[in-house]
Each structure stands twice: as structure tokens, then as C-alpha cells.
Amino acid sequence: MIYIHLDGHKYNYDVLELIKLFFFNEDIQFLYNKTLVSNQGLLIESILYKENDKLNAAAKIFKAQSCISSITINDIDSIDIKENNLNKKKKIAVKKTIFRALSTVTDIKVPWGILTGIRPTKIVHELYDKGYDRNTVFYVLTNEYLLNSEKANLIIKITDRERKFLYSLDENRFSLYIGIPFCPTRCLYCSFPANSLEKWGNFVEEYTDKLIYEIEKVSRFLINKKLNTVYIGGGTPTAIPVKNLNKIIKKLYKVFNVDEFLELTVEAGRPDTINKDMLYMLKENKVHRLSINPQTMNEKTLSIIGRKHNPKDIIKAFDMAKNIGFNSINMDLIIGLPEESNKDVIRTMEEIMKLEPDNLTIHTMAVKRASKLKETIEYYSLAEQKSIEEMLNTTKKYAEKMGLEPYYMYRQKQILGNFENVGYSKEGKECVYNMAIMEEKETIIALGAGGVSKFFYPTENRLERVPNVKNLINYIDRIDEMIKRKVKFLKTC
Ligand SMILES: C[S@@+](CC[C@H](N)C(=O)[O-])C[C@H]1O[C@@H](n2cnc3c(N)ncnc32)[C@H](O)[C@@H]1O
Ligand code: SF4
């Protein structure tokens, strides 16, 4: 058990998120009275206090009532984040002292330093926006946010690549996300809106109608805006019949000004949903990008994670798509799948290299609360941090060999080993939607069950999130409410 006692501040959430990085599977509890503790495990004390008119932060770690580590930052105003924001500096000081104190008593490496958020690249964009150069950004990331130099360089590189696609900001530009919440079966690790067709297949027709209704109604408020990119995801959009997906895409062409849009991606995802009819329909509808996702090329793992396809199906689906003329194909992989080691990853990467995809997205396994994996975790062996690092390095080396460079990234809660997800692409084959959704510098209208619209107001640097319900039946029943939720923002965006 890990106990936390805070004094002089209330950064409970931030402190908890940080401590979870060091103690992945431990119970963590806040203590409001420090004296309650006697020989009960580890106690982490974090204090913010004033001395000689200066604000200081301290963290102490106690074990069996002895202090085993103690770190202090005197005068937190000296924290150099290139921003005069005392509240932010207080939070950073609290996190830095805890981070340093814990680093002296545990072996766990925390490559992302004190950053616990999903989008570390945002800090780099903000510093660039203020006119700071790469060296200063590197200094702030490594000295104040305590990133290791490899991660600091990674996000600087990605931000450099993203900026030419995201800037200049334009309040009249938007992207569109269309959610199709059906899949052939539900994968072990998944927490996305993914209703198995076996159980929910008889709702596909009604869902298609309601989605088309939502597209039609919402599009009326977007007539004078410029549609930048479209991403049809889920779930697995290609899991529904060809005629339904065709109807949805045709509707998009009908109601939006498509002459100008840059990119239309369809998450084909599961190879067992890809066939010639589907691919020809997507090609005829001028879909630019496809995702065909192996996750792994190891047959045994595919069976463990509940994907009803084998590595040969992936190769077949990929070759079929290439032959039909798709020249921008992404492949998703997950590192840290149950029972996998570096040997399996090498085998997967050797197979992927033969296919030469244009994009490769390397996810690190996250044990999501709403997944079957979380419920049954005791039955699986998951890799330790060192092994995850080795496997990620393998993917990085192969990506380089394949001429793929990192172009977007994000982190997730409960991600194994405190690592990250990185999207690699050939030059000119970046998915602009992926960058836009991560950096939140453009309005994204998300339609369908589970979609979260984000209205971005560049002049105020403000973002408003408007979610649709995730549940399929609720979405169908409450479609008018889903539209209404957005109307207020659609009128002002
Ligand atoms: C929205 S999912 C849908 C993709 C598609 N349905 C498929 O499974 O091929 C996008 C990607 O997220 C990744 N993913 C999903 N759940 C994950 C988890 N718990 N941890 C890490 N990556 C995950 C997988 O690589 C997946 O391809
Ligand atoms: S990972 Fe993809 S195919 Fe598997 S359940 Fe989730 S959305 Fe469906």
C-alpha cells in the first residue's frame, strides 16, 4: 500500500497520476492525518510552504517511519517554463520533488518525467508559438518537466513535422469523424465502442439510418466552412455490409463540399472484414487512406487477443488493397500483447517490412478499465518495462529501415512501462487527421456513437468538447438530443 499526505496544496489528482507511474498495480490512498501511519508501507509526503517570502516545495518518502528520501525546491518562482504562471509552477514544483524523491528509492524509469497528460507535444507547440527555439524547448522539457533526452527529441521532431500541416490556424476549417461502432468480435484489450456483429448485427440498418440523419442535420450548419479531412473509424467500419458503408460515404459527398477535402481515411482494421467488393466500393468513393491492422503477425497471439484472423489474412488483405490501387495504407501494431517478447516483435516487423506500408502506428498496450483484459488480467503474463522498451526500440529500428519517420504521438492512461504510441509515415503520407485530433488546433465534428466533437476557437485558444453517447441503443434512441447538443456550438464555430 502507498499512502500520500499533502500539506499546503490540493493537487491530489496530479500527484496521484504521477505516483501511479511508479506504482502500476499498487493500491494508493490519501491520508488526511499523517500520524495515522505506522509501519503500513510507503508514505509520500508533499508540502508546499512559505519561508522568507519565498514559496518552497518538498517531498519526503517514509518507510517504517524513517525518512528514506527527501527533496526540496527553494523558491519555486525560479522554475523556468518560459511562462509567468505561479499556479502552474506550484504544480510543477510539487510533481518535480515527488518525482525526484521517488526516483532515488525505486528502479522504475519514467521516461516522460512529470508529464502525465496525453499530449506532450502540446508543450512544444506552445513554446514554439511564443518564439522559443529548439534548444530552449529541449532545456525546458529535460530540466523542468524531467523528460529523458530521447523523449524530448522525439516530441521536438514530431512537432517540427506537424507544424506545416496544422498552421496557419483557420477557424473556418474543420475535420470530420464518423464512428461505426461494430466489429466482428471484441478484442481482449479493447475499450472502444465495438459491438460484436454476432450480438448486435440486427441494429446495423437502424444505426446507418440514424447516422445518415445526423450527418444531414449537422451538415446544414457547416455550409460555409471548409472540410479539411474525414476519418471513418470505430469499431471497424468495414465490418458492416458494403451497401451500408457505401450509403454513408455517398451521403458525405452529397452534403459536404468535397472538391476541396484533403484526405478521406477508412479504418478497415480487421482483415477478416476486407474483401474485393468492399475495396472496390471504397476505391470508387475515392477513399485516400486505409488502415489494415495486424496488431501482431504472431498467430498464437492473434488467437489469445480474440482476433479471428491469421497473419496470412493480413498479407492477403494488404496485397488486395495494393492491387486495387490504394497507395496510402497504414498498419497498427501493439507492443506488450500477452505472452509476446522481442523475438515475436522481430518476426512481426520482418513480415511488415516485406509489405512496405506507408504508415505504421506503434501502440504500447494500455490496460483499459473497460476491457476484458482488465477483468481477467491475472490469467495473462504482460511484459515488464525493460522488455517493452526493448520491443519499442525494435519497432523504431525497423521503421527507420523502412524509411518511416515519426509524425504524431500520444500517451494513454494505464500504458505499460509508461511509454507512448507513435505514428510513423513516409514523407508525404502523413495522416493529417491524426495530427489534427492530437494537437486540438482545429474543430473536429464527430458523428455516430461514441464520437466526441471538439470545437476549437483559435482567437481565444479555447476548446469545447461535446460527446455523443457511446452506447449503440442510446445513440439510436437519443439521436435528436445528440444533434441538439452540437447545435449551440455549430452556430458559433
Ligand atoms: C480504434 S482501434 C480500431 C481499429 C480496428 N478496429 C482494429 O482493431 O484493427 C485503433 C487501434 O488502437 C489500438 N488499440 C486498441 N486498444 C488498445 C489498447 N488497449 N492498448 C493499446 N493499443 C490499443 C489498436 O492498435 C487498434 O488498431
Ligand atoms: S480493437 Fe478494433 S476490432 Fe478489436 S474490438 Fe476494438 S475496435 Fe473492434
Distance from C-alpha of 97 to C-alpha of 103, rounded to nearest angstrom: 10
pLDDT in tens, 305-331: 999 899 999 999 999 999 999 999 999
The number of the ligand 1 atom at minimal distance from the alpha carbon of 367 is 19
**Given this model, what pLDDT does residue 414 score?**
87
Q: Say if residue 327 is exposed, middle or buried (CB neighbours under 10 Å; 0-12, 13-18, 19+).
A: exposed
pLDDT at 37 over 60: no
- Nearest protein CA to atom 2 of ligand 2, as residue: 235
Check if 187 has its Cβ closer than 6 Å to any atom of ligand 2.
yes
pLDDT in tens, 102-144: 999 998 889 999 999 999 999 999 999 999 999 999 999 999 9
Q: Which amino acid is at 62?
A: F
**Given this model, what pLDDT does residue 440 score?**
94
367 contacts 373 by C-beta, under 8 angstroms: yes
Distance from C-alpha of 438 to C-alpha of 222, rounded to nearest angstrom: 22
How many residues belong to the chain? 493
Check if 235 has its Cβ closer than 6 Å to any atom of ligand 2.
yes
pLDDT in tens, 156-199: 999 999 999 998 888 899 999 999 999 999 999 999 989 999 99
Mind giving me the DSSP string for 426-463? -TT---HHHHHHHHT-SEEEEESTT-EEEEEETTTTEE
Residue 5: alpha-carbon gap to chain centroid: 31
Q: Which three cell numbers stand for residue 50?
A: 512559505
**Mean pLDDT over the full length of the chain:** 94
Q: Which amino acid is at 96?
A: K
Q: How confident is the model at residue 38 (pLDDT cuts 50, 70, 90)?
A: low
Task: Tell me the mean pLDDT in the region 398-405.
Answer: 98
Check if 236 has its Cβ closer than 6 Å to any atom of ligand 2.
yes
Distance from C-alpha of 75 to C-alpha of 316, rounded to nearest angstrom: 62
Pocket test for ligand 2, best of 180, 188, 190 (most atoms within 8 A of CB): 190
Check if 183 has its Cβ closer than 6 Å to any atom of ligand 2.
yes
pLDDT in tens, 323-361: 999 999 999 999 999 999 999 999 999 999 999 999 999
**Beta-carbon contacts of residue 223 (< 8 Å; ≥ 6 apart):** none
Give the side-chain half-sphere CA count within 13 A for 42.
19
Query: Closest ligand to 364 CA?
Result: 1
Distance from C-alpha of 428 to C-alpha of 344, rounded to nearest angstrom: 30
39 contacts 65 by C-beta, under 8 angstroms: yes
pLDDT in tens, 469-482: 999 999 999 999 99
Check if 190 has its Cβ closer than 6 Å to any atom of ligand 2.
yes
Q: Which three cell numbers stand for residue 238?
A: 468495414
- Express as a percent the part of the chain with pLDDT over 70: 98
279 contacts 326 by C-beta, under 8 angstroms: yes
Model-level pTM?
0.94
pLDDT at 36 over 60: no
Pick the residue with more confidence: 87 or 492?
87
pLDDT at 97 over 60: yes
Distance from C-alpha of 417 to C-alpha of 56, rounded to nearest angstrom: 31
pLDDT at 224 over 90: no
Task: Tell me the mean pLDDT in the region 201-213.
Answer: 98
Closest CA to 418 of 373, 370, 369, 367: 367
**Given this model, what pLDDT does residue 193 score?**
87
Check if 268 has its Cβ closer than 6 Å to any atom of ligand 2.
no
Give me ligand 2 centre to Cα 17, in Å: 27
**Given this model, what pLDDT does residue 150 score?**
97
**Continuous H helices in 263-355:** 276-284, 299-304, 311-324, 342-355
pLDDT in tens, 434-445: 999 999 999 999
pLDDT in tens, 243-263: 999 999 999 999 997 766 679
Q: Which residue has the cell 455550409?
A: 223
Pocket test for ligand 2, best of 180, 183, 337, 412 (most atoms within 8 A of CB): 183
pLDDT in tens, 272-301: 999 999 999 999 999 999 999 999 999 999
Q: Which three cell numbers stand for residue 382?
A: 504482460
- Express as a percent the part of the chain with pLDDT over 90: 88
Q: 100 vs 44, 81, 88, 449, CA distance in Å?
A: 12, 18, 18, 43
Give me ligand 2 centre to Cα 186, in Å: 6
Q: What φ, ψ does residue 408 adopt, rounded to 5°?
A: -155, 160
Q: Which residues line ligand 1 (CB under 6 A)?
A: 183, 189-190, 192, 233-234, 236, 267, 269-270, 293, 295, 332, 334, 363, 365-366, 368, 371
Distance from C-alpha of 450 to C-alpha of 178, rounded to nearest angstrom: 10
N- to C-terminal Cα distance for the chain?
48
Q: 256 vs 177, 249, 469, CA distance in Å?
A: 13, 11, 24
Q: Which residues pair with 266 in a beta bridge?
A: 232, 290
